[in-house]
Amino acid sequence: MVNEYDKLQKIFSALEMPMDEEERIDYKNLEKLINYELSIGVEGFYCMGSSGEGLLLSNKERKEALEQIVKITAERVPIIAQIGSIRTKDVIELAKHAVGIGVTTVSMIPPYYYKFSMEEIIKYYEDVIEAVPGIQVIIYNIPQFTGIEFSKQNADRLLRNPAVVGVKHTSHNLYSLERMVREYPDKVFFNGFDEQYLAALSMGASAAIGTSVNCYAPLFLKIRKFFMEQNYEKAYQAQAEVNDCIEVMVKHGIFNAVKYILSKRGITCGQCRKPFMELSKKAMEELDRIVSIDGL
């Protein structure tokens, strides 16, 4: 299991999903995107999460996309499949498919919309684990989208489960992150907010999954390198450079902003599926100022 955990202590791109003009997945440009990201230092891919428009894809599309990602990456880097949804049966179906094609590490958002009890949410994870032997689960803590904030207290039963290997912590509550890290040192904790990567490292995170990693992976590699060398001034400078870019992207909608930047770099990614709106001309002009920043 040690080797499996080591595989996860990486900087993962929350992989964007290129779309054509008819909102179909553009597999030709998906291959270009994956190979481009590997060339700039991305160490793994987190697939069908928020950045990959996972909840805007059908189960059939999610399966097909994962199959293509596995084929393209050809075991060069680890893959994590985000399989969470509102219905447990759908999640089990996606989990079995992922394991069947060799993706044994999955991430799951909690069930959303209905105000499920914490017991129901925990059972949702446990039902998937029970139904799919050998699966490794990462809890996806993203309260601003799901309304559920996982903590040391309410996630204790899950974090004590050996099939739960870690948490993707997309929350600004770094105190809660540090408390979980200290209580469960054998788990992998992924920073999920790119703008606080350096701070999350200081609180014990050992990995990252990020949307802006699609474009700016070299800067994240620098932050980690300088942090490990205890060169905190340079680490802060690299984090500030990331945040300068994120400030512009968030202003205009980060998912379409990343697609635009990648498209300007030669990998046509199209637009996010509706109801996401297209970027305005003014947004594109502002994003043009950060296209050439790459940290290389």
Tell me if residue 107 falls in helix, strand or coil.
Answer: strand
Residue of 140, 197, 216, 260 with catalytic role:
140
Residue of 10, 32, 168, 187 with catalytic role:
168
Q: Is residue 259 within 8 Å of residue 233, measured between CB atoms?
A: no
Q: State the angle between helix axes of 88-100 and 59-73 in degrees (0 to 180), rounded to the nearest 10.
A: 20
Q: Is residue 107 within 8 Å of residue 46, measured between CB atoms?
A: yes
d(CA 47, CA 68): 11
Let me know if 168 is a catalytic residue.
yes
Which two structure tokens, joined as six digits, stand for 21?
A: 């003009």
* Phi-psi domain of 134 (left: phi exceeds 0; alpha: psi -120 through 50; beta: other): left
Which two structure tokens, joined as six digits, stand for 50?
A: 């928020």
d(CA 73, CA 259): 20
Q: Cite the active site residues.
A: 140, 168
